Amino acid sequence: MTPAALLLPLVLFTTAEVPPSSAGSKEKPKHSPYAPSLPYLTKEEEDKLDAIVERYILYDIGRLQGKEGAKALKEFKALGAEAIPSLVRGLNRAAKIEHSCPVVVIAQKLNRLLAASEDQELLEYVKDNIGSGVGSTRHAGILQDLRLAVSMRKNALARRAGSGNFPAGANRGSKALRSLQAMSVAELADAASVERGPRLRSLLIELEKRRGEEVGPALANAAASYDKETQKLGRDLLDRYLSRQGEAVVKDALRHELVEMRKSAMRVIAAKMPRLGGELIDLLGDAQAEIRAAAHEALVKLSHGQDFGPPAAATPEEIAQAQAKWRDWWQRKNTLARPSARYNPANR
């Protein structure tokens, strides 16, 4: 039978299956304009997802209660990957208000959905749009940490695609067939960005022993995790890692773009490097509330309980007054610590 004869029945069959009413109608796109892995949604469908996220925000800040509030929570929990663009928009809206809970929960949901995605275009879209149009916000640390997690996931997928180290049938989020000791720092950091459970713990512990520019950010990413056990482990390991790096590195970490790196540096100064205590005073006036709080906590620890403020909701004037008191304390502390020339044994 000729190829043409074989093709004819297929053409006739296909033609018969097309409903007459669809002739000339515009074919629906196969995927979303945001990314290949997302389904195409009409404007009405996107608006519906936006409304679900918005109602959840109202529920979380206490403005939607009773049956309507319960419905809003149930609908929000049911959202899947198709809602990622709506969740990003909702995250940015929530970041503009004072309430912290909606930002944390939406960021947590996005983190879970994106940890399961292998769509590079989707990850790039989310990374570029986190915090878009938000401006200065007390939630900047949460946005930055989520952006880091997305970047690390994207980089891990890119390296994995180029390395060919993931055999078919293996857990594609880990290098299960290789020992941790045989993995490079970059490989460990990549794997830590996609792993969960006991394997993640082992990766982080191994990472802390290594050297390299990827170590700190990878541990900081774990320290910002929404899983409490991972968060605690990440913070402990990051503190241990930074405390071995020397004063210059810790001082630089105070100005790192990642909030968890900065907070870890402050804890290390309070516990191991008191000579850098003066660096903490300027941070009492930082734009991010959690940085101000961490600097205050570290200074109180360094002063053995003395507290010159400022309070949590301090005004700029109160912050300036507190900084002046802390600088006076720091100067007096250093003066008392400096040996007097009169009693210096070297002068005898």
In the chain, domain spans: 34-140
Tell me what pLDDT residue 31 has. 78
For the chain, give the mean pLDDT.
82
Is the CB of residue 222 less than 8 Å from the CB of residue 115?
Answer: no
- 161: enclosing H helix or E strand: helix 140-163
CA 231, CA 108: separation in Å to the nearest integer? Answer: 13
CA 240, CA 255: separation in Å to the nearest integer? Answer: 18
CA 31, CA 50: separation in Å to the nearest integer? Answer: 19
Hey, what amino acid is at 274? P
State the burial class of residue 321 (Cβ atoms within 10 Å of its Cβ: 0-12, 13-18, 19+): middle
Query: What's the token pair of residue 262?
Result: 């900065």
Q: End-to-end CA distance of the chain, in Å?
A: 114
Is the CB of residue 236 less than 8 Å from the CB of residue 264?
Answer: no
Tokens 């796109």 locate to: 29
CA 24, CA 38: separation in Å to the nearest integer? Answer: 26
The 10 Å Cβ neighbour count of residue 30 is 8
Is the CB of residue 290 less than 8 Å from the CB of residue 141?
Answer: yes
> Could you report the per-residue pLDDT of 120-158, keeping only the tens digit for each?
899 999 999 999 888 888 888 888 888 888 888 888 787
**All residues at 6 or more sequence positions from 67 whose CB lies less than 8 Å from its CB, including other chains:** none
> Residue 209: phi, psi to the nearest 5?
-80, -15
Q: List the pLDDT tens digit at each of the 348 positions of the chain.
A: 444 444 334 333 334 444 444 444 556 677 788 888 999 999 999 999 999 999 999 998 888 889 999 999 999 999 999 999 999 999 999 998 877 788 888 988 898 888 878 888 999 999 999 998 888 888 888 888 888 888 888 887 877 776 654 433 334 444 443 578 888 888 888 888 777 778 889 999 999 999 998 899 999 988 988 778 888 999 999 999 999 999 999 999 999 888 899 999 999 999 999 999 999 999 999 888 889 999 999 999 999 999 999 998 889 999 999 999 999 999 998 887 665 544 454 444
pTM score above 0.95:
no
3-state secondary structure of 211: coil
CA 333, CA 281: separation in Å to the nearest integer? Answer: 14
Hey, what amino acid is at 63? R
Tell me what pLDDT residue 20 has. 46
